Amino acid sequence: MSAETRDLLEGFDTTIHAPNRLRICALLDTAGEAEFGLVQEQLDVSASVLSKHVTVLMDAGYVEQRKAVRDTRQRVWLRLTPRGRDAYQGHLAALRAIVGPPDPAR
């Protein structure tokens, strides 16, 4: 294993790797910020399931939430922190290193 591959593998993050948390990070990386309800709809999970995953990501310092009243209801918006974005990008690089380059014969 090359030193470069070893460095990339160090970015593997077990906090992000859980499928729903990986999907949350991917969505927030693309969207920048998304309302809790939209994330819930996109992932097709219950509010309690999403809340548990978001709590894990928040405890790690990867996601932050912003609360505001909209249409007389309190809404919650989620976004990756700079640390969370770095961790997500590092995790993607580690996954690419594990998988290796695409096989041109395929």
With CA atoms as reference, report the closest residue to 25 among 77, 63, 73.
63
Among 29-33, 68-72, 83-87, the minimum mean pLDDT is found in 68-72
What distance in Å separates the CA atoms of residue 26 and residue 3, rounded to the nearest whole number? 27
pLDDT digits over 7-31, tens only?
A: 667 889 999 999 999 999 999 999 9
Q: What is the mean pLDDT of the chain?
A: 90
Expressed in percent and rounded to 5, the helix, strand and coil fractions of the chain are: 60, 15, 25
pTM for the whole thing? Answer: 0.85
Q: Say which residue the tokens 């594990």 belong to.
A: 98
Q: Is 28 exposed, middle or buried (0-12, 13-18, 19+ CB in 10 A)?
A: buried
Q: Which domains does the chain have, with CATH numbers?
A: 3-97 (1.10.10.10)
